[in-house]
Structure formats: structure tokens, C-alpha cells
């Protein structure tokens, strides 16, 4: 089965795992998804990332919980295949007054809104997480 938006599928799998109280989630692997997961790990939303050797390759994400509360309260796709959302650096605002992040796809790779703003580069707003 072909997916039209693999990033939305990844975010939905994470959201469903959080709502079901699961500690880990398995996602079909790609370079973009791995880079997105690494940003989530760096920001403290994901504890561990494992890449399986199975065919097809899968990413196993261990989600971060603080007690029984998940670190991810909201995760949503911003830019969609039918309606892309591009922002220049000066329009990359903070998410939830700095408590959350936006993940931006730039010419220098994926990065958070804070990092993109610091470097002065804009790009496509992939998703927001808090």
C-alpha cells in the first residue's frame, strides 16, 4: 500500500501510541523520519531510537514519560502535501511560549524553529510538538 504522506503517518503513529499509553512505537524507516526522530530525541520527547535490520527497515522509538504523563501532549503536521507552509526566519515564532517546538525543513537539513531562527534561515514547517 502506498502512502501519500509518510510524515503524517509517522506523527499519527506517535500520537496513537501516546494516547494508548504505549512506551514504544514502530515506524517504517527513511532518512527524513530518522532525522525527525533525532530532533525529537534531542528535545526530550523520545528517549531512544533503534533502527532494525528487518526488511523493510523499521524505526523503534521509545517515548519519554514523566511518571505516567507522556512528554508529548500535542503533535501535529503543519505543512501538508496539498498545502505547503513555508516561513522566512523572521516569521518562525515560538510554540506555546517556548515550551514546544516546530520542526523546519531547511536547505541545511531539518532543525527546530529556534535553531533556524538563530541561523537566520526559513523553510517548510513540517510539524509542531509540545
Q: Tell whether 14 and 59 lie within a shared domain.
A: yes
What is the mean predicted confidence (pLDDT) over 82-89? 96
pLDDT per residue as tens digits for the range 93-110: 999 988 999 999 999 999
Q: Which pTM was predicted?
A: 0.93
Q: Is 1 contained in some domain? A: no
**Number of domains composing the chain:** 2
Res 6: pLDDT: 95
What is the mean predicted confidence (pLDDT) over 31-44? 97
pLDDT at 79 over 60: yes
Average pLDDT, the chain: 95
Q: Tell whether 16 and 51 lie within a shared domain.
A: yes
Rounded to 5°, the CA angle 112-113-116 comes to: 85
Task: Give residue 13's domain range.
Answer: 6-70
Report how far residue 41's alpha carbon sits from residue 112's, in angstroms, rounded to the nearest whole number. Answer: 12
Amino acid at each position: 500500500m502506498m502512502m501519500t504522506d509518510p510524515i503524517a503517518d509517522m506523527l499519527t503513529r506517535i500520537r496513537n501510541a501516546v494516547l494508548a499509553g504505549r512506551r514504544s512505537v514502530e515506524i517504517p524507516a527513511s532518512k527524513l523520519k530518522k532525522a525527525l526522530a533525532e530532533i525529537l530525541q534531542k528535545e526530550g520527547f523520545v528517549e531512544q531510537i533503534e533502527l532494525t535490520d528487518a526488511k523493510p527497515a523499521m524505526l523503534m522509538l521509545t517515548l519519554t514519560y514523566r511518571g505516567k504523563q507522556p512528554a508529548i501532549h500535542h503533535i501535529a503536521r503543519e505543512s501538508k502535501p496539498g498545502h505547503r507552509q513555508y516561513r522566512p526566519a523572521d516569521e518562525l515564532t515560538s510554540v506555546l511560549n517556548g515550551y514546544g517546538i516546530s520542526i523546519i525543513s531547511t536547505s541545511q537539513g531539518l532543525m527546530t524553529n529556534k535553531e533556524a531562527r538563530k541561523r537566520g534561515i526559513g523553510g517548510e514547517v513540517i510539524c509542531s510538538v509540545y
